[in-house]
Amino acid sequence: MRKKTSGTRPAKTVITVRPAPRDRRRALVTFDGHTEQAAIGRSGITSRKREGDGATPRAAMKLVGGYVRRDRVALPSTPLPTRAIRKGMLWCDAPSHASYNRPAKAPFSPSHEEMMRDDGLYDVCLVMDWNLSSRRRHAGSAIFFHLIRPGYQPTQGCVAISLAAMRRLIPHLRRGAVVKVV
Q: What is the CATH number of the domain that holds 132?
A: 2.40.440
Assess if residue 2 is contained within a domain. Answer: no
Assess if residue 25 is contained within a domain. Answer: yes
Mean pLDDT of 15-34: 95
Sign of the C-alpha dihedral computed for residues 106, 110, 129 and 34 taken in this order? positive
Confidence of residue 2 (pLDDT cuts 50, 70, 90): very low
Q: What percent of the chain has pLDDT over 70?
A: 94
Number of domains in the chain: 1
Confidence of residue 15 (pLDDT cuts 50, 70, 90): very high
> In a 3-state reduction of DSSP, which class is residue 116?
coil
Give the mean pLDDT of the chain. Answer: 94
Q: What is the pLDDT of residues 58-96, one digit of tens each?
A: 999 999 999 999 999 999 999 999 999 999 999 999 999
Other Cβ atoms less than 10 A from the Cβ of 128: the count is 25
Q: Give the structural domain span for 83.
A: 14-181
Distance CA 122, CA 91 (A): 12
Assess if residue 86 is contained within a domain. Answer: yes
Other Cβ atoms less than 10 A from the Cβ of 24: the count is 17
Sign of the C-alpha dihedral computed for residues 36, 90, 84 and 130 taken in this order? positive
pTM above 0.85, yes or no: yes
